A and B are shown apart, each in its own frame.
Chain A
Amino acid sequence: MSVAIRLVDIGMQFAVSKNHDGGAHRVLEGLNLEIRRGEKVGLMGRNGAGKSTLLRIIAGIFPPAHGEVWRHPDMTVALLSLGLGFKNELTGRENAFLAAMLQGLSRKQAGQRLQDIGQFSELGAYYDEPVKTYSAGMRARLGFATGLLLETDILLLDEILAVGDRGFRVKAREALQEKISADRTIVMVHHAERAIQEICTRAVWLEQGAVRMDGDVNAVISAYGSQS
């Protein structure tokens, strides 16, 4: 299978002090990783191990401080994460429409997806209410449905499966397994090992900004488990 993403000697740091001249917090250092098309990779590691930063570098949101990022030029990528990104005053439907347009869909294509997104996210009448009235779970459901139904080649998931009630989590995982049977590539960060076991074909353990272990899901999980 062809390579989808290649990262060579990636380093990344963020300024810590307010004036940006003081200390810098090293997030990633000397990280190498190659992901092939169709692979489902689970990223593990403690808080602050650089998982979210790595996803953002892969998504091309920002460049690393040093090192090389290569992404297959024909593959589209979407990063799904919790939190901000919705316009609070707009309804769920309007937000989904905006997201679809920003992903490069035409007005017509975006309009066609809206129905599905509303249905999958199970928002019911809330779909046409402003997002500011939503609970955290509802926001997450909307975010997940929007990302899932906009078909990108590489899907980056940042803790997106951890929210919503249990029923929705199961449904989301099932949908993901269904969607990913094709040659979509997935890189996901998740704190629950079970989700990684269910979905991923490969696990990568990040520690101190570099890859500590990479390989079979169960082997990495048990090594990670015995360590922490």
Chain B
Amino acid sequence: MARLSLRAEARRFYLGYLWWILEPLLYVAVFWLVFDKLLGTRTPNFLMFLAVGKLAFIWFSKTVNNAASSIINNAGLIARMDLPKALFPLVVVLECSYRQLAVFLLLAVFLLFDGQMPTLQWLWVVPLAVVQILLIIACGFIAALLVCVSRDFVPLISLGTIFLMFVSGVFWDLNSLPDQNAANLLLILNPLAYLLDGYRQILLWQQPLNTVHLAVLTAILLIVNFVLAKLIHRYGRHIARRVISQ
């Protein structure tokens, strides 16, 4: 299903599959222009710093926003078949993760051009990406449920991801905050901030990861996802009634 959706989307646009990497790159370009050229940031090697953060963040924001409408967008199908409702957000996650694979590969090429040497430490990207997928699934489930309750949540979720972008250190460095306690608090409370910082630690700064943090985060996310999946399963038919009668 995810693969078919991807094919469908590629067909809708003139440039087709090219948009997968073009769109995130344009975002990076715009942010770079504003923060580096116009405002003048003091972060060293800002372009790469931004690329790592922004590309990982877009994966999150785009997927969650798409997942939010995934159930109501399939009302036609839901009206005909008693399908597990968790399927729809999960398809979106799978779809976007396929694309992200291409984006990450491109990022690797950029890093090589930038003179970063690939080390074994780069492999830490894999567990980080897995945890990010878990986080995306959890947020996607919640977003999709909220939109089933009311469509009014669609713009709110979109606003929410923008807020998250500002507090996750996409274009500023957490480690440069004057108050290190605040930075630490942010890393604990905002898993996305931890993940973005984690990608940079490995790819740009060759620093070891805080693995305890990663393990705890994984455990919490697994539990949250389990509970959410149960909830969606249990109320699947009520969701259907809601979606069809709206």
Interface residues of A (CB under 8 A from B): 14-15, 56, 59-63, 78-81, 83-90, 94, 97-98, 101-103, 130
Contacts and interface: CB of A to CB of B under 8 A. Distances in A.
Contacts of B78: 61
A101 B81 CA distance: 12
Residue of B11, B12, B81 most packed against chain A (CB within 10 A) = B81
Interface string B1-18: 100110111011000000
B11 A102 contact: no
A110 B80 CA distance: 18
Given A85-B77, A101-B1, A102-B83, A61 B8 contact: no
B240 interface: yes
Given A15-B245, A87-B5, A98-B4, A61 B80 contact: yes
B79 A85 contact: yes
Given A61-B244, A89-B11, A84 B238 contact: no
Interface of B: 1, 4-5, 7-9, 11-12, 75-83, 237-238, 240-241, 244-245
A209 B76 CA distance: 24
B8 to A, nearest CB: 3
A84 B240 contact: no
18 contacts: A59-B80, A60-B82, A60-B237, A61-B80, A63-B241, A78-B81, A79-B79, A84-B76, A84-B77, A86-B76, A87-B4, A89-B8, A89-B11, A94-B4, A98-B4, A102-B1, A102-B77, A130-B8
Nearest to A103: B81
Contacts of B12: 89
B4 to A, nearest CB: 6
Given A61-B244, A102-B83, A83 B76 contact: yes
Contact of A56 (B5, B9, B11, B79): B79
A115 B185 CA distance: 59
B153 to A, nearest CB: 15
Contacts of A62: 237-238, 240-241, 244
Contacts of A83: 76
A84 B75 contact: yes
Contacts of B7: 89-90, 94
Given A15-B245, A61-B82, A62-B241, A90 B8 contact: yes
B22 to A, nearest CB: 19
B80 A79 contact: yes
Residue of B4, B7, B12, B238 most packed against chain A (CB within 10 A) = B4
Nearest to B87: A102
Given A14-B245, A62-B244, A80 B11 contact: no
B241 A85 contact: no
A75 to B, nearest CB: 13
A104 B12 CA distance: 28
B79 A84 contact: yes
Nearest to A85: B76
A79 B11 contact: no
B238 A56 contact: no
A63 B4 contact: no
Contacts of A63: 237-238, 241
A62 to B, nearest CB: 4
Nearest to A101: B1
Contacts of A101: 1
A103 B75 CA distance: 17
A61 B4 contact: no
Nearest to B241: A62
